């Protein structure tokens, strides 16, 4: 499949967007509609991201950027938490159908959903869950460069902490359409953004989560 893909990242993301649009139309706003195997794994990933919120921010208010928000599952988890009292959530996705589904599901003035591949506003916390997994078999070097560039741009829109997850290249049973990351590569890149970097890999999924905090 990689031979049929464009070398230009904007065209490649458009292709990925169409795949997700088809999926949400086929399955609806559920875990499988964003290619998660089940809701338990989806929620576990999101809860790990939310656990990076600092103790002093648990009573809020905070602002959140959610890059690759899908139908808004992260907001579902956080909307009733004290940290979101008076807070704000901005979800971004490259699929217009995903954003439309999120807006239909969520009638909350604190939540905004935008069709965009990048964050457009500064937030205290920026989260990315599963967004970089679906590469459709793109060239690994191109996709790695895309992820690093995306993280660099998101970090500029992050006031306190950024956290993201990636599938682990150590996984023995890889699927052709997914990107499996070398953790050392992305740990080293994270350290170019801040010396305050943590990796979380003690959960029962073949992936890892990297947390980057402002010094």
Ramachandran angles phi, psi of 79, nearest 5°: -60, -30
Strands (E), 27-79: 63-67
pLDDT digits (tens, 9 = 90+) for 113-161: 999 999 999 999 999 998 999 888 788 898 899 999 999 999 999 999 9
Q: Does the pLDDT at position 182 exceed 50?
A: yes
Better pLDDT: 84 or 174? 84
pLDDT of residue 84: 97
Q: Does the pLDDT at position 200 exceed 50?
A: yes
Strands (E), the chain: 63-67, 88-93, 111-115, 123-128, 158-168, 180-181, 196-200, 207-213
Q: For residue 123, count other CB atoms closer than 10 A to its CB.
A: 23
pLDDT of residue 34: 45
Q: Does the pLDDT at position 15 exceed 80?
A: no
pLDDT of residue 3: 38
CATH topology of domain 2-213: Rossmann fold (3.40.50)
pLDDT digits (tens, 9 = 90+) for 30-89: 444 444 465 776 788 999 999 999 999 999 999 999 999 998 999 999 999 999 999 999
pLDDT digits (tens, 9 = 90+) for 88-106: 999 999 998 889 989 998 8
Q: For residue 50, count other CB atoms closer than 10 A to its CB.
A: 17
Question: What is the pTM assigned to this prediction?
Answer: 0.89
pLDDT of residue 35: 46
Q: Where are the domains of the chain?
A: 2-213
Q: Which strand (E) or helix (H) includes residue 49?
A: helix 39-50
């Amino acid at each position: 499949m990689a031979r049929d893909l464009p070398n230009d990242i904007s065209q490649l993301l458009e292709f990925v967007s169409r795949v997700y649009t088809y999926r949400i139309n086929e399955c609806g706003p559920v875990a499988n509609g964003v290619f998660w195997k089940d809701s338990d794994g989806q929620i576990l990933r999101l809860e790990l991201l939310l656990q990076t919120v600092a103790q002093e921010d648990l009573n809020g208010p905070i602002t959140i950027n959610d890059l690759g928000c899908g139908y808004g599952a992260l907001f579902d988890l956080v909307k009733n938490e004290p940290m979101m009292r008076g807070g704000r959530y901005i979800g971004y996705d490259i699929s217009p159908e995903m954003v439309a589904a999120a807006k239909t599901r969520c009638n909350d003035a604190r939540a905004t959903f935008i069709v965009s591949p990048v964050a457009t506003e500064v937030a205290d916390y920026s989260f990315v869950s599963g967004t970089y997994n679906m590469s459709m078999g793109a060239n690994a070097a191109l996709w790695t460069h895309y992820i690093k560039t995306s993280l660099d741009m998101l970090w500029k829109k992050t006031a306190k902490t950024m956290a993201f997850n990636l599938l682990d290249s150590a996984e023995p049973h890889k699927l052709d359409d997914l990107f499996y990351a070398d953790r050392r590569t992305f740990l080293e890149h994270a350290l170019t953004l801040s010396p305050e970097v943590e990796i979380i890999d003690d959960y029962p999924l073949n992936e890892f989560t990297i947390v980057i905090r402002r010094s």
